[in-house]
Amino acid sequence: MAISDKAIKNIPLGKDVQKVITDCFQDWTGAIEWSIDHLPDPPADSPWLDWGISLAGNMLWAVTVFFPSAFEVATAAKFWAAVVKAKKAAKVSKVVYASASSATQAASVFGAAIGSSGTQIAGLLRSLRGELRSPEGKKFIHRFMLRQVGPMQQEFVNRADDWAQANLLPHMIAQFILKTKPDLRLDNDDAFREFYNTAVASEELSRYVWEEFVFPIDTAPYDNHKDGLEDFLLDKLQKMVDDYEAQWNEYQAKVKERRSYGRTGSWAMKRPPLEFQPVFKFDGIPQDVQATYNTNRQKIAHTVHSLNGKG
């Protein structure tokens, strides 16, 4: 098949990918705000304040859309398969892990922003008693998210060119062959450029960037757009509620047990009260990133309780 390097360089691949990434993050921001509107209630005997601390302090649930389940295993398999095929390990690792690296860096940027805003978030949670669905709570989340979109999006843009050349371009050439069935013995430069500029090719490019680079999750395909992200995030939040409830019940049992010991007089010394410190885990996300988010939640909780202690 004759498609020259010159023809390939003349298509606005990088520019088009950047636009799709921007659209993806607009949908993601909208899905986050929708999720806040539809937050599940905490367990019946758990105060909204503790639940709000967990939601705002550990917002890892919001970035799960960038990581497929078992992501580390899948990418490792792809990596070694590509190394064997290409025999160029250094180059292959750069492109195979482009999506993984982008997601990890974006999640790290988001986590750092939460950490640096911890005192402000704690003050808001205390004043709202954890009710993030209130007008003031939603307004804060909206403004906070808007400030993070640019830096997070940039992490994907920074790695997009390498990924597009290694993955998207071969895909688009394959689509060109599949849909137009060109004579591969001829010069196909003009035919490829013409195909690339069609609405069909533009839609395929958007689909591939969405599903393979930004949101590589099976349950939120491109065709579902923002609605798919909303359903995905709501499912993550519900699982987070279930995990929270299980940890809350375990905590309550420990408190009850401690009180029982106190009544029987088996403890002569007073012990400090137990603190409720739930830890949340999400499939596919690197452990160091998860640790950062759980630390954020813990610090915000301590700040809230410290403020409450001051009246």
Buried b (16+ CB within 10 A) or exposed e, 141-153: beebbeebbeebb
Domain definitions of the chain by residue range: 13-158+204-263+274-309
Q: CA of 127: how far to CAs of 95, 131, 264, in Å?
A: 46, 9, 39
Give me 178's structure tokens: 């599949």
pLDDT of residue 1: 56
What letter would DSSP give residue 188? Answer: -
Per-residue pLDDT tens digits of the chain, which is 311 residues long? 578 999 999 999 999 999 999 999 999 999 998 988 888 888 778 888 888 888 888 888 999 999 986 554 444 444 434 434 443 443 444 444 467 789 999 999 999 999 999 999 999 999 998 888 888 988 888 888 889 999 999 999 999 999 999 999 999 999 999 999 999 889 999 999 999 999 999 999 999 999 999 999 989 999 999 999 999 999 999 999 999 999 998 988 888 887 766 555 554 445 556 778 888 888 888 888 999 998 999 999 999 988 876 44
Report pTM. Answer: 0.83
What one-character-per-residue DSSP string does 3-46 give? --HHHHHTS-HHHHHHHHHHHHHHHHHHHHHHHHHTPPPPPTTS
Residue 107 near residue 292 (C-beta atoms within 8 A): no
Rounded Cα–Cα distance for residues 15 and 10 (Å)? 11
pLDDT of residue 76: 43
